[in-house]
Amino acid sequence: MASLETASNKSKSWPSLLVRGRKTNEIFMAYHYTKYLDAVAASGKAVYPIPCFAKAWQNRFDAETSDGIPIVAAGGGEPGVYPSGGPTVNVIDIWEQFTPDIDFISPDVYLNNYTKVCQNYWHRNQSLFIPEQRRDEYGARRIWTAIESYAALGVSPFGIDTIVFEDKTWPRHYGLLSSVSSIILEAQQNADTCIEFHFDEIAPQGEVEKYKPVVKHWDGLELTIERCFVFGKPGPGAGMVTRRGSGRFLLLGWGSRL
């Protein structure tokens, strides 16, 4: 096995520094991927100096659920089951350390807990950008989390060029965000001026209590954001509330009441 390329460890092997096993193999792969890709990024920037990022197929350490999901699609939790060595959360520090010419590291988000992924890739305040994610309404509702709570540079559903014209999911969310972009950018500068929310469809068997209202205290007021009930039926919703000062608030989105 190749030796670790540092001045103090040139004569040591990876197993002697760590232990022999899958996780050590993953660290080995991650280290050498970073050395190669940083060289590629540096060469590219020497010709055309634009930001560069690396993106990661997520492993399944923080999965919301894996019921009925093929293990290949889900990624799996063990190195060698998912494509290992890429910038997953468990080796992201290696990627940050050895890729000075890569500006930020980005997650693909499909089957993992969306909020946890945003938290992990906002690691040490690096910029968050989601280059791939679910393209359905479930995924669209969560872009408010990335943009409001984690100041995302952008969010891209997979294969947006193949979404049929009749599907208004993304035009609706993107259209609203575009129309209030100055407010969004202002809110991203001060996280305490806004709060996001999303409510999913409730399964036929119920579980209404699983989806609790969002409560926020501002200026001596208690704000409660809860889902709307249309003709007694609970519906989905997503959006954000921004504090505009002097007891004034702006509610953006759908399917909620404040």
238 lies in a domain?
Answer: no
60 lies in a domain?
Answer: yes
173 lies in a domain?
Answer: no
Host domain of residue 57: 15-112
Using one digit for the tens of pLDDT, what is the confidence trace for 136-193?
Answer: 999 999 999 999 899 999 999 998 888 887 888 999 999 999 999 999 998 888 878 8
Q: Using the predicted structure, report yes or no on whether residue 207 has a pLDDT greater than 50.
A: yes
Question: How confident is the model at residue 201, as a pLDDT?
Answer: 86
Which of 3-12, 77-86, 104-113, 240-249 has the lowest average pLDDT? 3-12
Q: What is the domain count for the chain? A: 1
Question: How confident is the model at residue 63, as a pLDDT?
Answer: 45
Q: Using the predicted structure, report yes or no on whether residue 3 has a pLDDT greater than 50.
A: no
Q: Using the predicted structure, report yes or no on whether residue 131 has a pLDDT greater than 50.
A: yes
107 lies in a domain?
Answer: yes
21 lies in a domain?
Answer: yes
CA dist., res. 166 & res. 89, Å (int): 37
108 lies in a domain?
Answer: yes
75 lies in a domain?
Answer: yes
